[in-house]
């Protein structure tokens, strides 16, 4: 695996080997003292500390304990590199359950349980023995990260276990040692004391998973099964169905989607960069596409740009000349046009619906506010009557009449009012003869400026007036 291996060491009997699990928890405490916590490392790594009392050796004697220990420490450059450590009392498992088959999963993280708590095991000393329901199986492969992959998914409910010896992959906590050479013994070797050597285990980082990093992409459950995503080996789909997917595999950082040729095929042509012709026609603002270019299927309609004319004689097999005799329909949804049938495909009008003399049968509903020509007074035909025609007819029927623009109104009682304006300093006003006074009339005048106005003579047909700046007049009578 490429890591230096720490030799068996004469650990100080006085201090022993200190070992404790290490977790990483993110905590936040409120002002009221309530704490929220999230575990960033669901499985522990292990912290170690040991001291070496009176070990013998010299730097120049390769077989000595001192030289072997120093070689590992120097090979890792202190805390820069990793080494393999064998815990003298905890380096082997026998029939340790690491998972339960479900009939579909083939990859599992090897490990053990410590009274029900799962502990990840990597860096095996040789190939571990894998059992399915207690039966040894060889149809497996094991990665340095301790991920076992079965050639066939274990059946649902089967117990998966492992037997073998393992290392702890460790890193020194400090870049210097508290080492003292005390004296030289009779053998010629030096006596050394190295105190407080600290190191901690780590997990193997591989292309398929990084354990101990936000759960490392692992999925785990109460039956201690850990499923490790692996790198996908098939090309990603370009035009696959819209689905989230369920393979559980990771995509490699260098994955590339295949070239999208499906859309080119669906259009029926292969685009060529900087094309200057289409079916032999030069591309210009006045391209004319012949009928054969369309009806033979060599040029899909989607390729005809806007503004380009197409001198086709058919549309989806229907001759254009046969469609010039009526309204066109497409009732089949196939795009083949045909002539619409009056009374079947649309409501047929009973007469001419255009021009000024149009006739409508039945009871058509006209929009609110529709306007029309006011018919001549006294018209007794079946033409539509406007509100103006109706009011004039009502007044005429009651003996009344009016014309606001002409300045008169006659009420059904016979009362007549007329009004108007005149300019200058004097003159004669003649009453409107469309509504004459026959018995009595009284005119009133008012100067249009700031002067005076008067009448000097009045009759049933007119009156004389004098004023400073013209007059506004009103006459009432019958």
> In this predicted model, what pLDDT tens digit does every residue of 388-401 receive, in sequence order?
777 776 666 555 67
Average pLDDT of the segment spanning 195-218? 61
CA distance 23 to 43: 7
pLDDT digits (tens, 9 = 90+) for 101-119: 999 999 999 999 999 999 9
> For residue 323, which phi and psi values (nearest 5 degrees)?
-100, 5
Going along the chain from its start, the domains and CATH numbers come out as: 18-26+31-227 (no CATH), 283-331+338-343 (no CATH), 403-477 (2.60.40.3940)
Q: Is the pLDDT of residue 216 over 60?
A: no
Q: Map residue 365 onto helix, strand or coil.
A: coil
pLDDT digits (tens, 9 = 90+) for 27-62: 999 999 999 998 888 899 999 999 998 888 888 899
pLDDT digits (tens, 9 = 90+) for 430-447: 999 988 999 999 999 999
User: Is residue 361 within 8 Å of residue 351, measured between CB atoms?
Assistant: yes
Average pLDDT, the chain: 79
Strand 147-150 versus strand 140-142 pairing type? antiparallel
Length of the chain equals 478
Q: Which two tokens stand for residue 473?
A: 């007049």
pLDDT digits (tens, 9 = 90+) for 138-161: 999 999 889 999 999 999 999 999
Res 381: pLDDT: 82
pLDDT digits (tens, 9 = 90+) for 168-201: 999 999 999 999 998 887 777 888 999 999 999 9
Q: Is the pLDDT of residue 419 over 90?
A: yes
Res 199: pLDDT: 97
CA distance 401 to 399: 7
425 Cβ contact list (under 8 Å, min separation 6): 466, 467, 468, 470
Instruction: Tell me the β-bridge partners of 162.
Output: 96, 130
Answer with the residue of higher pLDDT: 285 or 465.
Answer: 465
Q: Is the pLDDT of residue 413 over 80?
A: yes
Report the percent of the chain where pLDDT is more than 90: 43
Average pLDDT of the segment spanning 210-215? 32
Closest CA to 431 of 423, 443, 439: 443
Answer with the residue of higher pLDDT: 125 or 375.
Answer: 125
Q: Is the pLDDT of residue 356 over 50?
A: no
User: Is residue 238 within 8 Å of residue 262, measured between CB atoms?
Assistant: yes
Q: Is the pLDDT of residue 137 over 90?
A: yes
CB atoms within 10 A of CB 437: 19
CA distance 208 to 251: 10
Res 334: pLDDT: 65
Res 231: pLDDT: 62
Using H for helix, E for strand and C for coil, what is the string for 54-84? EEEECCCCCCCHHHHHHHHHHHCCCCCCCEE
- pTM greater than the 0.85 cutoff: no
Q: Could you report how far apart the first and last alpha carbons of the chain are, in Å? A: 128
Res 47: pLDDT: 97
> For residue 172, which phi and psi values (nearest 5 degrees)?
-65, 140
User: Is residue 151 within 8 Å of residue 217, measured between CB atoms?
Assistant: no
Q: Sort 456 into a burial class: Cβ within 10 Å, 0-12 / 13-18 / 19+.
A: exposed
pLDDT digits (tens, 9 = 90+) for 444-462: 999 988 888 889 888 999 9
Q: How confident is the model at residue 370 (pLDDT cuts 50, 70, 90)?
A: confident
pLDDT digits (tens, 9 = 90+) for 260-310: 655 544 444 455 555 566 666 666 555 555 655 555 445 554 455 544 455
Q: Which two tokens stand for residue 71?
A: 């070689």
């Amino acid at each position: 695996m490429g890591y230096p291996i720490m030799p068996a060491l004469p650990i100080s009997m006085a201090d022993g080997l200190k070992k404790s699990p290490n977790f990483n928890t993110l905590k936040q405490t409120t002002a009221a003292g309530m704490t929220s916590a999230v575990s960033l490392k669901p499985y522990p790594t292990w912290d170690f500390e040991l001291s070496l009392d009176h070990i013998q050796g010299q730097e120049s004697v390769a077989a000595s304990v001192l030289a072997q220990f120093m070689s590992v420490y120097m090979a890792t450059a202190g805390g820069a590199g990793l080494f393999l450590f064998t815990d003298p009392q905890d380096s082997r498992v026998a029939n340790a359950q690491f998972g339960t088959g479900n009939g579909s999963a083939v990859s599992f993280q090897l490990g053990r349980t410590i009274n029900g708590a799962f502990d990840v095991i990597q860096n095996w000393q040789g190939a571990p023995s894998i059992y399915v329901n207690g039966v040894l199986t060889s149809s497996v492969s094991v990665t340095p990260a301790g991920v076992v992959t079965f050639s066939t998914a274990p059946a649902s409910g089967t117990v998966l276990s492992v037997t073998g010896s393992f290392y702890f992959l460790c890193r020194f906590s400090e870049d210097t040692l508290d080492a003292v050479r005390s004296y030289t013994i009779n053998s010629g070797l030096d006596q050394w004391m190295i105190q407080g050597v600290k190191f901690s285990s780590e997990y193997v980082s591989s292309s398929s998973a990084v354990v101990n990093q936000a759960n490392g992409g692992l999925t785990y459950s109460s039956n201690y099964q850990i499923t490790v995503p692996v790198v996908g080996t098939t090309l990603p789909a370009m035009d696959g169905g819209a689905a989230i997917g369920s393979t559980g595999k990771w995509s490699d950082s260098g994955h590339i989607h295949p070239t999208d040729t499906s859309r080119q095929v669906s259009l029926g042509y292969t685009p060529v960069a900087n094309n200057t012709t289409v079916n032999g026609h030069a591309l210009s603002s006045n391209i004319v596409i012949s009928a054969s270019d369309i009806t033979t299927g060599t040029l899909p309609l989607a390729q005809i740009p806007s503004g380009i004319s197409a001198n086709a004689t058919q549309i989806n097999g229907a001759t254009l000349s046969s469609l010039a005799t009526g309204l066109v329909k497409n009732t089949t949804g196939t795009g083949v046009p045909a002539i619409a049938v009056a009374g079947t495909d649309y409501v047929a009008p009973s007469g001419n619906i255009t021009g000024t003399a149009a006739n409508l049968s039945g009871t058509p509903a006209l929009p609110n506010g529709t306007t029309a020509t006011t018919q001549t007074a006294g018209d007794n035909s079946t033409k539509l009557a406007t509100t103006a025609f109706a009011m004039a007819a009502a007044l005429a029927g009651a003996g009344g009449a009016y014309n606001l623009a002409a300045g008169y109104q006659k009420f059904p009682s016979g009362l007549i009012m007329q009004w108007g304006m005149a300019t200058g300093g004097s003159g004669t006003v003649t009453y409107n003869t469309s509504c004459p006074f026959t018995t009595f009339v009284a005119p009133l005048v008012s100067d249009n400026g700031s002067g005076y106005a008067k009448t000097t003579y009045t009759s049933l047909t007119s009156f004389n007036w004098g004023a400073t700046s013209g007059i506004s007049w009103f006459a009432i009578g019958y």
